[in-house]
């Protein structure tokens, strides 16, 4: 009882989650393809488990799977209404990690408006954008920061332009280190952007399910690579 009480006082009873994801959003076909990691930690094992849609492919990452040894707790899944990872997936005070990928129809978009030499964007991604870089048809890159969801912001011409790197975007999917590639893309967007595309950084995960209900603290980081964004004049 003393040990349990000490643990609860130190960590509380609320679960936390974290998600890192990269989404390619084809605005012309309304298709979004997302890859990434999601993790959960709960001082007390949740009764309802985890919930994901049928379109999400999950790959659990656990120590026993790294070593391919037997043992561990039993896990159950219910596919009646969704992918319900019912029991054994998130246990008390043990982090649970998953790789995931999914492809689905989405209506989110970034609307680009041009008036003479002025370019502005309307954030229709459903979450605040921390930073955005947009490459025009001539390879010039424009940028803006702190764009609230639904707001319109004028872009400024960046000091760098598009750098040809055909393997850059493909590397985000083929590399084993997705997180490392995401950091590289955000640090050097000119090496990944193609003319007519944009890259947006968000501290949210609008293209990924929450997974665990009743989470007190959710941390997320998402990069959205927009393709086929049209301009309004």
Q: Provide the whole-model pTM.
A: 0.86
Q: Which region, left, alpha or beta, applies to residue 29 given φ > 0 means left and ψ of -120 to 50 means alpha? A: alpha
Q: How far apart are CA 166 and CA 159, in angstroms?
A: 21
Q: How far apart are CA 229 and CA 193, in angstroms?
A: 13
Spell out, as residue ranges, where the chain has pLDDT lower than 50: 66-69
DSSP designation for 191: G
Residue 58: closest CA among 40, 31, 38: 38
Contact 90, 49 (CB under 8 A): yes
Can you point out the beta strands (E) in 14-108? Answer: 16-26, 31-41, 50-52, 56-61, 76-78, 83-87, 96-105
Contact 67, 28 (CB under 8 A): no
Token pair, residue 151, equals 């707001």
pLDDT in tens, 101-131: 999 999 999 999 988 888 999 999 999 999 9
């Amino acid at each position: 009882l003393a040990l349990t009480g000490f643990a609860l006082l130190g960590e509380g009873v609320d679960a936390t989650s974290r998600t890192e994801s990269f989404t390619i959003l084809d605005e012309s076909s309304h298709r979004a393809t997302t890859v990434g990691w999601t993790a959960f930690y709960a001082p007390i094992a949740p009764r309802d488990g985890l919930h994901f849609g049928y379109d999400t492919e999950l790959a659990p990452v656990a120590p026993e799977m790294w070593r391919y040894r037997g043992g561990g707790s039993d896990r159950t899944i219910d596919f009646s209404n969704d992918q319900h990872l019912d029991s054994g997936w998130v246990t008390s005070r043990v982090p649970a990690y998953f790789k995931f990928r999914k492809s689905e129809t989405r209506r989110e978009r970034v609307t680009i408006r041009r008036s003479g030499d002025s370019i502005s964007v309307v954030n229709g991604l459903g979450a605040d954008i921390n930073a955005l870089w947009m490459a025009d048809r001539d390879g010039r890159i424009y940028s803006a920061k702190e764009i609230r969801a639904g707001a319109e912001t004028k872009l400024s011409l960046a000091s760098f332009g598009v750098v040809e790197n055909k393997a850059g975007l493909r590397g985000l999917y083929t590399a084993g280190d997705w997180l490392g590639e995401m950091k590289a893309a955000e640090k050097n967007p000119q090496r990944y952007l193609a003319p007519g595309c944009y890259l947006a950084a968000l501290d949210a995960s609008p293209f990924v399910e929450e997974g665990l209900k009743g989470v007190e603290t959710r941390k997320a980081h998402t990069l959205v690579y927009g393709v086929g964004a049209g301009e309004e004049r």
